[in-house]
Amino acid sequence: MSTLVLRSEWTKLRSVRSTMWTLIATAVTMLAFGILLPLAVANSSNPAESGLNGTDLSLTGLGLAALTIAALGVLTISGEYRTGSIRTSFLAVPGRVNMLAGKAVVFTVVSLVVTTAAAFLSFFAGQLVLDGTGLETTLGAPGVVRTVVGAGLYLTASGLLGLVLGALIRHTPGAIVSAIALILVLPQISALLPGQWGETVRTYLTSNAGQQIALLETRPGMLEPWAGLGVYLLWIAVIGIVAAVLLHRRDA
């Protein structure tokens, strides 16, 4: 992949409004939950006894924000299929897999910057609200930086999941529904699976694994934070490889 492709993909990404709006929606979701949940807890009786922690409270927007950033990931490529402009793109860059890689790199950089900033903002806003409740914390406390940075990583990975699904499915609604299924629905439903087998599926299923990096108090019985992120990225890589192979083979 050349820097030419990266520059072109950056121009494409920044020159449509939906990019701006979905990025803003992601940041606003993080920030809104990061203020509202701490506010609710601060106003409850005896917040210090709630068993909650200030870091995770300020990052509760993750669940929803993962979906908005995934939608942006989907649109980055499905938008080109919808309009038919994908053909013009392939005329300019016949190495289709190169183009997909270029999109992924540009998306990753933009998303990392925005989601990491949003995560830190939410964290600080949350701590301001929690001030005096005994739940407030600082970046210096153990695991906090990993969690806040992890929120940006988890969100960006979710966006990439959307992007590879968009490349695979090529159809906006289909890809968005798949992203919601993979990020939200299936991981939750997996809680109902019985036995040892069910537990394994639950542990390794997409966001159950991926979200660990963005939780200060990781969920018991689940993967370690970095291992969890690794598994999430593996999902994305596998879908991405299938998408790349099909991209290469299919008629545009």
Partner 1 sequence: MTAITATNLTKRYGATVAVQDLTFEVLPGRVTGFLGPNGAGKSTTMRMILGLDRPTSGSVKIDGRSYAELRRPLNKIGALLDAKAVHGGRTAHNHLLALAQSNGISAKRVTEVLDIVGLTEVAGRRIGGFSLGMGQRLGIAAAMLGDPEILIFDEPVNGLDPEGILWVRTFMRKLAAEGRTVFVSSHLMSEMAQTADHLIVIGKGQLIADAEVGEFIGLSSQGYVRVGSPQLSQLAPLLGGEAVLHGDHLRVTGVTAAEVGETAARAGLVLHELTFVQPTLEAAYMELTKGSVEYEAVAA
Residue 8 to residues 2, 86, 102, 250, Cα–Cα distance (Å): 10, 13, 9, 23
Tokens of 169: 């499915």
Residues 3-32 interacting with partner 1 (rule: CB under 8 A): 4-5, 7-9, 11-12, 15-18
Nearest to 99 by CA among 235, 252, 237, 247: 247
Query: Is residue 221 involved in binding partner 1 (CB under 8 A)?
Result: no
Query: What does the DSSP 8-state code read for residue 53?
Result: -
Note every long-range contact of 16-21, with CB atoms under 8 Å and residues 24 or more positions apart, other chains counting.
Answer: 16/79, 18/72, 18/75, 18/79, 19/72, 19/75, 19/76
| Binding-site member from 45, 49, 94, 195 for partner 1 (CB under 8 A) | 94
Options 52-60, 85-93, 137-145, 174-182: segment touching partner 1 (CB under 8 A): 85-93
3-state secondary structure at position 72: helix
Indicate which single residue of 40, 43, 44, 88 sits in contact with partner 1 (rule: CB under 8 A).
88
Query: Binding of partner 1 at residue 71 (CB under 8 A)?
Result: no
Is 73 near partner 1 (CB under 8 A)? no
Is 7 or 219 the residue whose CB approaches partner 1 more closely?
A: 7
To partner 1, the closest distance from the beta carbon of 223 in angstroms equals: 39
Span from 87-95, 129-137, 159-167, 181-189 in contact with partner 1 (CB under 8 A): 87-95
Of 32, 53, 39, whose CA–CA distance to 143 is shortest?
53
Where along the sequence are the contacts to partner 1 (CB under 8 A)? 4-5, 7-9, 11-12, 15-18, 79-80, 83-85, 87-95, 249, 251-252
